[in-house]
Structure 1
């Protein structure tokens, strides 16, 4: 039996981020006092592990193809989970969640398609910036709701810019 050679520290952090998704849901919908605040802290912890795993992977040359696929997938799943939960409780309009879900599903499906063709399009500045704006907007929704809603709109626009950039990179690779 071949050992898993892709399980390094950055990939373990990514797996931890995936593990945080059901924890977020359980806390968010619990009757625990300050469950929204605790949930947002879990979300921010996930964001911190995303930054940390990327730094470690690049700094110590631990980038793997598996990590290049799983890391953005973990980010997308966490973001979709948080937006859906916030929509269910009325903090975020459903149409925002639906727009982001459709965009991210397209990204996930196309990423799996490319992975099967042995192609991975790594994350870039547009996707990272979009993720940062989403994290800021969700943080602000708790503390400064109006600012959070404005930032959420900016995040959706930046997500579509990242999608367009992704499509441009993909089409260049096909030519």
Structure 2
């Protein structure tokens, strides 16, 4: 296992750590939970950088990296739904998009099709989701409006991803 993939696996471990901290009664638990989210984001940036720099981009990494990101985000948004910081509709459209993306990637991978690594739109969307999480977790008044804007962008990003996925697999034929 290479270092970038190991860092991706750490992000999987951070998911239950985040949930335990977020729902704990410890002082500053929301601050600590947000710190775990930031740590997950940092490992995402570092593993991507190392994979490219060390030429260790693997199909496993291409598959696991976005899965770790999406599962972390789903866990965070689930915690925000349970705690009442977001409504059911926001959670539903986020869950629907991410679960659909995970299932489509899995189906493509199992059928031997190529998957598309993260592009600039996906990275921008992820960055904006981090801002939305900060605004939501710390109760900023613009949080809901900002979240819905990022959700709209995320659907556009998914559409771009699907077009790229179709194109790369048509070229492979």
Q: TM-score, normalised by structure 1?
A: 0.91
Asked if the contact 2:11–2:68 (Cα under 8 Å) also holds between the matched residues in 1, the reply is yes
Q: Which ranges of structure 2 fall in alignment gaps of 5 or more residues?
A: none
Give the corresponding residue for 1:70. Answer: 64
- Give 1:1-175 correspondences, 5 Å limit: 7-118=1-112, 119-143=114-138, 145-175=140-170
Q: Deviations over 1:41-65 (max 9, x none)?
A: 1011101110111111111111111
CA distance in structure 1 between the aligned counterparts of 2:39 and 2:67, rounded to whole angstroms? 17
| Superposed displacement of residue 157, structure 1 | 1.0
Q: TM-score, normalised by structure 2?
A: 0.92
| Superposed displacement of residue 37, structure 1 | 1.2
Asked if the contact 2:115–2:165 (Cα under 8 Å) also holds between the matched residues in 1, the reply is no
Please identify, of 66-75 and 115-124, the stretch whose mean Cα deviation from structure 2 is larger: 115-124
Q: Which ranges of structure 1 fall in alignment gaps of 5 or more residues?
A: 1-6
CA distance in structure 1 between the aligned counterparts of 2:68 and 2:123, rounded to whole angstroms? 13
| Superposed displacement of residue 144, structure 1 | 5.5
| Superposed displacement of residue 158, structure 1 | 1.3
| Superposed displacement of residue 11, structure 1 | 0.6
Aligned length: 169
